[in-house]
């Protein structure tokens, strides 16, 4: 082999110097990404951290370069403390520019619990609600109070103020229009129980949605200790619904179905809609109308910056 | 330069590289995992206990104590967060726990099949039981997909030893469905406990998608059994009511 020893030494020295120069920069880069001062959006940061289980794998990943370049592009030429914007960040202008923190999520959770409590109060005041349904609503409302208390305590543990009333965005966009729709149609009982079912379904889906976003395993556990109960609530409303059934797989073929008890055909509702919890928008039929209700997103989170 | 000399130079360069990277990795790990070496060592010990049947339940998750522990780490956290941004992929410990969860699901499959085989479930209820069995089978497959080799593909023998005799001793449908109700409730509680341990969000998201379905199974069974509202719907899914790998290792005995 024809190598020059001096050249090899020079090359090795240059490589060592380049590495020594690059490592502090890398450390600072990772530090800024991880502590949030780089203003990198959650997704590229998550991509940067994917595979973090194995630190060796993390450093050796082929995709590392791609993810890093996206982050670097966001970080580049930005003074310390500034929040750079990149194409990876959300471009929705109506979403508040606050960080989606654990605190924001637990405040949102307690606010949703109050939404459901208030909705049960409004529904229970309607003459058309049966005594049996009213009893179930009162039972569930009490449990939602307990759920709200958990998330209020969590907010305090996180160093913030708990949110102790209904979520105004959810009220304005979901609860109030649904109640108005019910009133317009004479508050039919099937509409009432379908709305109750829809709200519980939505609450359960919301907790499922936030699990991957919460940073602490204990918070995720708390979220689903409530989310699982909301799922039970949802299933327990199904027997009150004329078109309610246990599962789509168990439905009788349409030609053989007993439709004699159905005064007005409605959308089927299932106690066990599928093998996994669904994050799809809940469809709530109120009389002849079907309202589609999405899981609350960032525009309805109760960020601590918004105050109580 | 002879080959031996070249090897020595390469080794020197490699040693310098490793020395430089050692601190980098540790710094990065501390920031990513937000845990002290002691915490990480504890997690390793937790995994080592899995499946050995030793010790008390290790999956209980007192929320506030955990939050306090998380806040004690020296990692700089985003304001309002309890921990650093978690990784997406499951950790090695996650995979072991998810693999064990697969054994729980396969035990549920076996339990429903044993219940069906007794012939004591009515023709009206049998399709419901078999559907729930199928859901558990799907959950087991999902665990296998994420846990990889940590999923052994075996029904949890310890769980079957606990529930099997109850199924065999059941005299009628009500007693069989009561066992099923307990099994579903325990499964959901176990997953709530597991969420307190899982680090990677992919595994956590899977578990979070299973909890609602197993909770709904319990609600339906509770309805069929005519249970009280309180029995059908406790205030919380209580992690303390779940089972742990230490209590119920995959291989009994």
pLDDT-derived band at A111, boundaries 50, 70, 90 = very high
pLDDT-derived band at A302, boundaries 50, 70, 90 = very high
What average pLDDT score do residues B61-74 get?
49
Which tens digit of pLDDT belongs to each residue from A9-58? Answer: 565 566 556 555 555 554 554 455 445 555 555 544 544 443 332 222 22
| Contact yes or no for A46 and B208 at CB 8 A | no
Tell whether B24 is within 8 A of chain A (Cβ).
Answer: yes
Q: Is the pTM higher than 0.90?
A: no
Which tens digit of pLDDT belongs to each residue from B149-159? Answer: 999 999 999 99
DSSP character for A37?
A: T
| Contact yes or no for B1 and A8 at CB 8 A | yes
Cβ atoms of B62 and B26 within 8 Å: the answer is no
Tell whether B3 is within 8 A of chain A (Cβ).
Answer: yes
pLDDT score of B153:
96
What average pLDDT score do residues A165-170 get?
96
What average pLDDT score do residues B65-88 get?
71
Q: Do the interacting molecules here have an ipTM over 0.85?
A: no
pLDDT-derived band at A216, boundaries 50, 70, 90 = very high
Size of interface A-B (CB pairs under 8 A): 279
Query: How many whole angstroms separate alpha carbon B104 and alpha carbon B172?
Result: 25
Which tens digit of pLDDT belongs to each residue from B175-223? Answer: 999 999 999 999 999 999 999 999 999 999 999 999 999 999 999 999 9
CB-based burial label for A201 (10 Å; 0-12, 13-18, 19+): buried
Q: Which of A206, A71, A212 is nearest to B90 (CA)?
A: A212
pLDDT score of B31:
41
pLDDT-derived band at B15, boundaries 50, 70, 90 = low
Tell whether A222 is within 8 A of chain B (Cβ).
Answer: yes
Q: Which residue intervals of A36-101 are DSSP H helices?
A: 42-49, 55-60, 64-75
Cβ atoms of A302 and A163 within 8 Å: the answer is yes
Beta bridge partners of A285: A290
| Contact yes or no for B25 and A23 at CB 8 A | no
Say which residues have a Cβ less than 8 Å from residue B42's Cβ, sequence separation at least 6: none
> Among B20, B82, B212, whose Cβ lies nearest the Cβ of A277?
B212
pLDDT-derived band at A282, boundaries 50, 70, 90 = confident
What is the share, in percent, of chain B residues with pLDDT greater than 90?
66
Which tens digit of pLDDT belongs to each residue from B79-104? Answer: 899 989 999 999 999 999 999 999 99
User: Contacts of residue A26 in chain B, CB cutoff 8 Å?
Assistant: 24
Mean pLDDT of chain A: 76
| Contact yes or no for B135 and A246 at CB 8 A | no
């Amino acid at each position: 082999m024809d190598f020059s020893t001096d050249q090899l030494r020079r090359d090795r020295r240059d490589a060592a110097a380049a590495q020594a120069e690059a490592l502090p920069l890398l450390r600072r880069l990772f530090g800024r990404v991880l502590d949030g001062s780089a203003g990198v959006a959650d997704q590229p940061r998550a991509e940067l951290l994917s595979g973090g289980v194995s630190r060796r794998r993390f450093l050796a990943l082929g995709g590392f370069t791609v993810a890093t370049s996206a982050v670097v592009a966001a970080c580049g030429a930005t003074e310390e403390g500034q929040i750079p914007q990149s194409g990876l960040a959300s471009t929705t202008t109506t979403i508040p520019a606050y960080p989606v923190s654990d605190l924001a999520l637990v405040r949102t959770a307690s606010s949703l619990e109050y939404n459901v409590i208030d909705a049960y109060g409004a529904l229970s005041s309607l003459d058309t609600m049966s005594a049996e349904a009213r009893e179930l609503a009162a039972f569930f409302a009490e449990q939602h109070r307990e759920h709200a208390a958990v998330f209020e305590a969590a907010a305090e543990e996180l160093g913030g103020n708990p949110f102790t009333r209904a979520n105004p965005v959810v009220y304005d966009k979901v609860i109030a229009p649904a109640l108005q729709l019910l009133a317009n149609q004479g508050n039919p009982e099937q509409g009432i129980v379908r709305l109750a079912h829809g709200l519980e379904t939505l609450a359960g889906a919301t907790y499922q949605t936030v699990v991957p976003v919460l940073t602490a395993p204990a918070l995720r556990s708390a979220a689903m200790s409530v989310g699982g109960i909301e799922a039970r609530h949802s299933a327990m409303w199904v027997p009150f619904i004329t078109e309610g059934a246990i599962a789509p797989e168990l439905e009788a073929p349409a030609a053989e179905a007993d439709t004699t008890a159905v005064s007005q055909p409605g959308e089927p509702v299932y106690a066990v809609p599928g093998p996994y919890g669904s994050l799809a928008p809940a469809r709530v039929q109120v009389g002849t109308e079907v309202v589609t209700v999405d899981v609350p997103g960032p525009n309805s989170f109760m960020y601590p910056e918004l105050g109580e | 330069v002879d080959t031996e000399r070249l090897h020595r130079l390469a080794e020197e360069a490699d040693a310098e590289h490793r020395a430089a990277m050692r601190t980098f990795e540790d710094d990065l790990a501390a920031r990513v995992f937000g845990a002290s070496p002691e915490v990480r060592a504890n997690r390793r010990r937790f995994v080592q206990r899995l499946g050995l049947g030793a010790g008390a339940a290790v999956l209980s998750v007192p929320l506030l104590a955990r939050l306090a522990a998380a806040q004690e780490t020296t990692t700089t956290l985003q304001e309002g967060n309890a921990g650093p941004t978690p990784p997406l992929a499951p950790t090695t410990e996650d995979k072991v726990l998810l693999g064990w969860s697969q054994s729980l699901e396969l035990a549920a499959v076996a339990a429903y099949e044993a219940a069906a085989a007794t012939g004591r479930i009515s023709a009206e209820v049998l399709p419901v039981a078999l559907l729930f069995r199928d859901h558990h089978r799907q959950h087991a497959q999902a665990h296998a997909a994420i846990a990889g080799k940590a999923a052994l593909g075996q029904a949890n023998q310890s769980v079957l030893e606990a529930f099997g005799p109850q199924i065999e001793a059941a005299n009628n449908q009500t007693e069989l469905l009561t066992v099923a109700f307990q099994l579903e409730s325990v499964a959901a509680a176990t997953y709530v406990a597991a969420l307190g341990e899982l680090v990677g969000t992919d595994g956590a998201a899977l578990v979070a998608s299973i909890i609602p379905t197993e909770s709904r199974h319990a609600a339906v069974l509770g309805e069929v059994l005519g249970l009280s509202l309180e029995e059908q719907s406790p205030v919380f899914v209580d992690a303390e009511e779940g089972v742990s790998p230490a209590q119920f290792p995959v291989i009994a005995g």
